């Protein structure tokens, strides 16, 4: 067989070219396919401070709010240890976290009088870092967290012209430096400050207090003295808000946090022949609609027609009233529950939804009005308030600064999608490189196939040639 050295060398070059092209394509395709990373942009929505919910107007004149005639207070209210968390574990396995150190100045020596009626203790939620205020620096430097309990009234409220109680506020320095924390709060109509030390009226139901110098990690509580007017129940539901602001020397900006509180009235005014009970409303982290359960009882001796009316704060509604219920307006829903037998009870469940802003303002308060109208005798009516909570109020969005890196890394990370729906520059470059690699592989395969065909054709012609004679 006549095989020339030149053709043998050309076949070796084509094979080598094919091997290099295949290796190049296999090595670079995975890298180019991942050359266009996606960047997740987190948006931080600052929590708006809750406003005064619209209460039901009554015939009585609301109490006169004190005017801000004195200069801003320079001293903070007295403080004490934070309330203990409700942990039912009988044998704790770690150090107790219910008695952290109080603020640096003033020392936690003064406490509220023992005669005041405190609301029931609740579990303090875990601290949440707060988003920086306007012009603030990195969120890890400054941080503050506030949590509140509700203003809960007992049955004794119905026998007094007004009632003085307390609102417990727990403050935590969640930053990394010593901070000066200032407190302010808003009371709804029918409630006034009963002389909280270190706080002064600012008008419009607003009260401002002095500041606490606190070290990083300090957690303490204070009691705000509140006077509830005897006719405030006519305006239920009632809610308020507490705000804290933290600043530190040498650190720009401030950190802020806020939380609402509910004013909870017992069923009343007391009247025989009727009972009323309403459970709370709780929204989970998804913000989906929840349910409100109400029980209306007829404790009289004659059957009576029953009616339940629900009053909700701003942003909270009944999206789809069940059968027998009708929306009077956005805040009020009335339900006819039919005949309530003597000594019997009827139950009603209403779906309740809330806007994202209303959930951030929680805890809030709603009101329920129950009425029974017997066939003989006078109609009887009770009303009470219930609590509205939301998991969204326990989490504050935090803006995370972009990580430092080289200009090339930052440019690639900052490249967002084309507003018109096309590809970014990084994605276009990756597509071009992938196309070029595929073309090189195809070209190498075509060259190898052509060379192989030529070689086979030459071998066939050589086989058909007659053997030379001797």
Between CA 81 and CA 101 the distance in angstroms is: 8
Q: 363 and 449 in one domain?
A: no
Within a domain: 91: no
pLDDT(47) > 90: no
Q: Residue 130's pLDDT band (boundaries 50, 70, 90)?
A: very low
pLDDT (average), residues 194-221: 92
Q: 303 and 246 in one domain?
A: no
Check residues 14 and 405 and name the one with the higher pLDDT: 14
Secondary structure element (H or E) that encloses residue 458, with its range: helix 425-464
User: Which of the listed ranges 1-5, 156-160, 374-378, 459-463 does the model predict with the highest average pLDDT?
Assistant: 156-160
Please choose, from the candidates 230, 213, 212, the residue with its C-alpha nearest in 3D space to the C-alpha of residue 222.
212
Within a domain: 234: yes
- Residue ending a domain, among 266, 281, 307, is 266
Give residue for tokens 């405030």. 232
Q: 81 and 218 in one domain?
A: yes
Q: Residue 392's pLDDT band (boundaries 50, 70, 90)?
A: confident
CATH number at 371 reads 2.60.40.1530
- Residue ending a domain, among 247, 266, 285, is 266
User: Mean of the per-residue pLDDT values for the chain?
Assistant: 74
Within 10 angstroms of residue 351's Cβ, the number of other Cβ atoms is 14
Within a domain: 69: yes
Within a domain: 387: yes
Please choose, from the candidates 306, 308, 315, the residue with its C-alpha nearest in 3D space to the C-alpha of residue 292.
308
Please choose, from the candidates 52, 358, 50, the residue with its C-alpha nearest in 3D space to the C-alpha of residue 204.
52
CA atoms within 13 A on the CB side of 99: 2
Q: Residue 74's pLDDT band (boundaries 50, 70, 90)?
A: low
Q: Which two tokens stand for residue 133?
A: 């205020």
CB-based contacts of 314: which residues, under 8 Å, 6+ apart? Answer: 51, 53, 54, 331, 358
Q: What's the farthest any 2 CA atoms get from each other in the chain? A: 142
Q: Residue 21's pLDDT band (boundaries 50, 70, 90)?
A: low
Q: Residue 154's pLDDT band (boundaries 50, 70, 90)?
A: very high
Q: 259 and 230 in one domain?
A: yes
Q: 322 and 262 in one domain?
A: no
Between CA 251 and CA 247 the distance in angstroms is: 7
Tell how far CA 200 is from the center of its chain. Answer: 30
Contact 395, 128 (CB under 8 A): yes
Contact 412, 37 (CB under 8 A): yes
- Residue ending a domain, among 396, 416, 448, is 396
Within a domain: 413: no
- Three-state DSSP at 3 gives coil
Within 10 angstroms of residue 449's Cβ, the number of other Cβ atoms is 12
Rounded to two decimals, the pTM is 0.57
The string of pLDDT tens digits covering residues 229-238 is: 999 999 999 9
Count of structural domains within the chain: 3
**What range does the domain containing 291 cover?**
270-396
Check residues 412 and 151 and name the one with the higher pLDDT: 151
Q: Residue 381's pLDDT band (boundaries 50, 70, 90)?
A: very high
Q: Residue 453's pLDDT band (boundaries 50, 70, 90)?
A: confident
Within a domain: 428: yes
CATH number at 133 reads 2.60.40.10
Within a domain: 41: no
Of 4-13, 33-42, 70-79, 355-364, the one with minimum mean pLDDT is: 33-42
pLDDT(67) > 60: no
Between CA 278 and CA 284 the distance in angstroms is: 19
Between CA 14 and CA 453 the distance in angstroms is: 13
């Amino acid at each position: 067989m006549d095989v020339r050295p030149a053709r043998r060398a050309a076949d070796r070059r084509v094979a080598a070219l094919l091997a290099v092209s295949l290796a190049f394509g296999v090595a670079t395709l995975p890298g180019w396919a991942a050359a266009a990373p996606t960047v997740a942009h987190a948006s931080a929505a600052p929590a708006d401070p809750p406003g005064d919910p619209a209460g039901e107007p009554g015939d009585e004149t609301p109490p006169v709010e004190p005017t801000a005639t004195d200069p801003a207070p320079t001293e903070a209210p007295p403080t004490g240890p934070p309330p203990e968390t409700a942990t039912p574990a009988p044998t704790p396995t770690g150090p107790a976290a219910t008695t952290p150190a109080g603020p640096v100045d003033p020392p936690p020596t003064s406490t509220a009088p023992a005669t005041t009626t405190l609301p029931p203790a609740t579990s303090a939620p875990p601290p949440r870092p707060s988003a920086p205020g306007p012009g603030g620096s990195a969120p890890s430097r400054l941080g503050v967290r506030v949590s509140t309990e509700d203003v809960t009234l007992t049955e004794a409220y119905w026998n007094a012209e007004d009632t003085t109680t307390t609102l417990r506020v727990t403050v935590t320095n969640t930053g990394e430096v010593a901070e000066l924390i200032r407190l302010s709060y808003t009371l709804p109509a029918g409630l006034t400050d009963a002389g909280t030390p270190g706080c002064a009226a600012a008008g419009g139901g607003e009260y401002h207090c002095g500041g606490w110098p606190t070290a990083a990690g300090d957690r303490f509580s204070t009691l705000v003295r509140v006077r509830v007017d005897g006719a405030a129940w006519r305006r239920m539901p009632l809610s308020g808000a507490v705000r804290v602001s933290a600043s530190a020397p040498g650190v720009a900006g401030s950190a802020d946090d806020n939380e609402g509180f509910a004013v909870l009235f017992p069923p009343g005014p007391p009247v025989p022949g009727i009972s009323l009970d309403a459970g709370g409303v709780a929204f989970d982290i998804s913000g989906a609609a929840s349910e409100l359960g109400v029980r209306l009882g007829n404790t009289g001796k004659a059957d009576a027609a029953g009616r339940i009316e629900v009053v909700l704060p701003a942003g909270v509604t009944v999206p789809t009233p069940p059968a027998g219920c009708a929306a009077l307006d956005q805040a009020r829903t009335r339900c006819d529950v039919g005949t309530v037998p003597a000594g019997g009870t009827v139950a009603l469940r209403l779906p309740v939804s809330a806007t994202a802003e209303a959930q951030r303002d929680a805890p809030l308060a709603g009101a329920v009005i129950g009425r029974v109208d017997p066939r003989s005798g006078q109609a009887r009516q009770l009303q009470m308030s219930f609590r509205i909570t939301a998991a969204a109020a326990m989490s504050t969005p935090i803006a995370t600064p972009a990580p430092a890196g080289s200009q090339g890394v930052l440019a690639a990370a900052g490249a967002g999608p084309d507003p018109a729906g096309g590809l970014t520059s990084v994605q276009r470059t990756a597509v071009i490189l992938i196309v070029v690699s595929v073309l090189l592989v195809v070209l190498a395969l075509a060259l190898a196939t052509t060379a192989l065909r030529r070689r086979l054709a030459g071998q066939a012609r050589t086989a058909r040639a007659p053997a030379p004679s001797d």
